[in-house]
Amino acid sequence: MLIGLALVPKVRGQHNGEQKMFNINILRKSSFLLVLIGNVPTVMAVYALYSYLPMLAESTGLAKLESSYLISAVGITNTLGRILAGWIADLPHISALRMTTLASIIAGILPSIFLLCSSHATFLILSSLFGLIISVIPSVTSALIVEILGKQDLSSGFGMLTFVRGIAALAGPPISGLIHDTTNSYSASFYLASVELIASGLIHGCVVLLLHKRRHQYQAI
């Protein structure tokens, strides 16, 4: 988490040689602030699901060994999905921001559907699908930052975003665990994960509209 803030560009100062500088001005850009806010529920939901998906499967009667395979399925399809998402993001006229918006909303449907699963096969299929869809978000992060801030602030933006994601990753599982302990059910935690992912997609969608409006105003001048 703290390493994220260290991912800043190096510049050569006039008196002290090479120094590190973080461009604080990126926090004044509303579009980037919305991206930071939108990443919080995404990461909270993903890490909570990683933590409690095997337990949910076990609660439906699956063996512990079978339940453990679900995270492996997420990891395998996530790895393949990152390669595919990176290739798609490099295509002309493809927006990393729009890809993130779409992936977040689609992925947001799946945690609620997990609650309907009752067999190892259905859990495995949904886990694989979730890993594939959610892989889009980290794959296009750099392209998304460049789309919003430009290449000159890529390192500062990436560092700040990594820091925020780290905080969200720490907060997600405990909050879901507290909800489970309060309700004595995994349903509320998985419904919350759905809400968080869809909310993240809607926030990123607002960024899409904001940038579109700014480009339209700029072209009108």
Residue whose C-alpha is closest to residue 103's, from 4, 172, 14, 205: 205
In this structure, what token pair is assigned to residue 122? 């259905």
What pLDDT score does 19 carry? 47
What pLDDT score does 191 carry? 94
| Buried/exposed 123-147: b ≥16 CB within 10 Å, e otherwise | bbebbbbbbbbbbbbbbbbbbbbbb
pLDDT above 70: residue 135:
yes
Radius of gyration for the chain, computed over Cα atoms and rounded to the nearest angstrom: 19
pLDDT above 60: residue 16:
no
User: What's the maximum distance between 2 C-alpha atoms anywhere in the chain?
Assistant: 67
For range 10-30, the mean pLDDT: 66
What pLDDT score does 3 carry? 52
Q: Under CATH, domain 29-220 is a member of which superfamily? A: MFS general substrate transporter like domains (1.20.1250.20)
- Amino acid type, 120: H
User: Are 137 and 42 in contact, with CB atoms under 8 Å apart?
Assistant: yes
* Percent of the chain residues past pLDDT 70, beyond the cut: 88
User: Are 131 and 81 in contact, with CB atoms under 8 Å apart?
Assistant: yes
pLDDT above 50: residue 15:
no
pLDDT above 50: residue 164:
yes
Q: Calculate the average pLDDT of the chain.
A: 88
What pLDDT score does 105 carry? 96
Residue 139 gets which letter from DSSP?
H
Residue whose C-alpha is closest to residue 128's, from 172, 178, 70: 70
3-state DSSP assignment of residue 87? helix
Give the pTM: 0.85
In this structure, what token pair is assigned to residue 100? 């993130």
Q: What is the pLDDT confidence band of residue 213, given thresholds at 50, 70 and 90?
A: confident
pLDDT above 70: residue 20:
no
What pLDDT score does 193 carry? 94
Residue 12 backbone dihedrals phi, psi, to 5 degrees:
-95, 115
Residue whose C-alpha is closest to residue 43's, from 85, 97, 100, 2: 100
Find the range with the poorest average confidence among 59-63, 116-120, 212-216. 212-216
pLDDT above 70: residue 10:
no
pLDDT above 90: residue 32:
yes
